[in-house]
Amino acid sequence: MSGSATGSGEPRAAFRAGVRDVLPALPANVPFGVIAGVATVGAGFDPAQAAAFAGMLFAGAAQVAAVELVDQRAPVAVVVATALVVNLRYLMYSASLGAHFRDLSTRWKLVVAFFLLDVTYALSVGRFEGRADVDPTGDGRWYYLGTALPLWATWVGASLVGVVFGARVPASWQLDFAIPLLFMGLLFPALDGGPSYVAAAAAGVLAVAGFGLPFNVGILAAAVGGILAGVLAEVSLR
């Protein structure tokens, strides 16, 4: 390892520090995971498939978007493309975080990539760049895992609750309404400036305009269009 991600600290101490730092973020993932589990079962996945989906994908918004498209019988290419667009921000995260893990083995890099989330990125970068000089437990990979594993366990556990609950709820309850409500709950707190409002407005208009298009490509067009509109708005304000 290189840079501020290295250190003489003991791996166990670094791991415990990561666990300690991530604990306040865990409760917020519970309702999201429950709804994702309900939605996955509602889309026709059996409980074992739904549980595996949550554990292997581990990307909340992309998972729910993919489930919604699967439920609408969208082509696999559209499902994959939409999930990739939703997760485009991870390209920027990985470029920033990669400087601290460039000397890891390929196996470790795959582990880091799998667990890359908003929370793991924010906590790890804050530690590596802001507190490394005063932190005696600076082994970056173990701190990173300390933040990531509790998040993963919380997400999978909450999803399992949703899977069990969703499998027992009659279809007539139509719990799929929770998906748009969930995305609205994620959207509004993220609106913190002009470019974000432009991106949301553009995506909303494109989603409505593209409703009913073959293969549900309207959703993909709305995602791409919203991102481009937000980027253009931010560039114009500089």
Please indicate, yes or no, if residue 181 is contained in any of the structural domains: no
Is residue 200 assigned to a domain? no
* Amino acid 75: pLDDT: 84
Q: What is the pLDDT of residue 137?
A: 41
Q: Give the Cβ contact number of residue 161 at 10 Å.
A: 15
The per-residue pLDDT for 135 is: 40
Which range among 95-104, 109-118, 132-141 shows the weakest confidence by mean pLDDT?
Answer: 132-141
3-state secondary structure 13-54: HHHHHHHHHHHHHCCCHHHHHHHHHHHHHHCCCCHHHHHHHH
Say if 96 falls within a structural domain.
Answer: yes
What pLDDT digit, counting tens, does each position of 47-83 carry? 888 888 889 888 877 888 888 788 778 888 888 888 8
45 residue type, one letter: F
Residue 132 has pLDDT above 50, yes or no: no
**Owning domain of residue 138:** 3-75+88-174
Question: How many separate domains does the chain show?
Answer: 1
Query: What's the pLDDT at 227?
Result: 83
Residue 227, in any domain of the structure: no
* Residues 137, 19 contacting (CB under 8 angstroms): no
Nearest by Cα to 166 from 44, 28, 62, 26: 44
203 within a domain of the structure (yes/no): no
Provide the 3-class DSSP secondary structure of residue 192: coil
**11-43 confidence digits (pLDDT tens):** 888 899 999 999 998 988 888 888 888 888 888
Average pLDDT of the residues in 145-162: 93
Segment 182-207 mean pLDDT: 79
pLDDT at 190 (0 to 100): 63
Q: Which of 1-15, 68-82, 191-205 has the lowest mean pLDDT?
A: 1-15
Tell me the pLDDT of the chain averaged across its residues: 80
The residue type found at 49 is: Q
Note whether residue 238 is domain-resident: no
pLDDT score of 133 more than 70 = no
Q: 208 pLDDT exceeds 80?
A: yes
Higher pLDDT, 31 or 139: 31
70-74, 132-136, 173-177, 182-186: least confident range = 132-136
Q: pLDDT value at position 155?
A: 92
Q: Is the pTM of the predicted complex or chain greater than 0.75?
A: no
- How far is the C-alpha of 150 from the C-alpha of 73, rounded, in Å? 33
Percent of the chain as helix, strand, coil, to the nearest 5: 80, 0, 20
Task: Evaluate whether 140 touches 100 at the Cβ level (below 8 Å).
Answer: yes
Evaluate whether residue 104 is within a structural domain.
yes
pLDDT at 8 over 50: no
80 located within any domain: no
